[in-house]
Amino acid sequence: MTQKRITIKLWSDAEQKEKTYVAPRTSAKTLLDALRLNKKAEDTAKDLEKSIKVLEEQIKFMVDIFGKQFTYDEFSEGLQSFEISAEISRVLAEVVGYKKIDEEDPDFLQPTETGATGEQ
């Protein structure tokens, strides 16, 4: 069976480029922890303070899933604010099997003919 890989792309200010990280093989412990975090997020959705704490736990979990290849701050700063929740949800869904892991996710920041990212 081909090993599917969970990946994430984070912007590196230091290197001025996007870096792709590949998570090491995940285990049943990772699955159980991801399910618990998903449940906790659902249970605290209506309480902002509790939701913030869960988000902080999720970011720490992301660092752990990827074998500490990046830090909490590198994760937090490597995504735009509106991307953080979606990326956490995507990775957790891949860990628990809710979402099929793509062999190669399309990159919406593909350079245009001028070399720009398409953002004005």
State the pTM of this model: 0.77
Length of the chain: 120
Question: Which backbone phi and psi does 21 adopt, to 5 degrees?
Answer: -115, 140
Residue 105 domain-assigned (yes or no): no
For the chain, the domain total comes to 1
Residue 64 domain-assigned (yes or no): yes
Residue 81 domain-assigned (yes or no): yes
**What pLDDT score was predicted for residue 97?**
84
Residue 104 domain-assigned (yes or no): no
10 CB-near residues (< 8 Å, 6+ apart): 18, 19, 21, 70, 74, 75, 78, 79
Cα–Cα dist 31/61, whole Å: 11
Q: Spell out, as residue ranges, where the chain has pLDDT lower than 50.
A: 1, 103-120
